[in-house]
Structure 1
């Protein structure tokens, strides 16, 4: 159990281990629900990155199959795609 101190302004600072446990970082948000018996429930607010943001791009082109191609192979694939010679999912 972690014990926190209330300041004169009525504020509480969450310790790093609590923030790490919640999976939050500076700028993230948390929800606090008031429960019976003077108890609280603190939950990290999971927000989905805005579409088109750099955060939503990270990991979007993960190379799960460990596929490597030369620039020439990439160029040929692009030309074939534009020419309509290859469909999505073709294994050529």
Structure 2
């Protein structure tokens, strides 16, 4: 089990074993979460850009043209004014 010491300023060094497991490097951010049982979970707050692939893709949705977007914006603005 990896162990770290907390300084008087609340700082610590993440042990190499844990850094390697989380695939984090200097400058990366970490999230500290407390789960329902009171356990602390540490996870990387940064994602590799490759993990974002396909995140916004929706199946069976027809792409919308710029003209259709402009028309929808104009209609929404007209409804607000009415």
Which TM-score applies when normalising by structure 1?
Answer: 0.44
More RCO (CA 8 Å, sep 6+): 2
Q: Which has the larger radius of gyration?
A: 1
Structure with more helix by fraction: 2
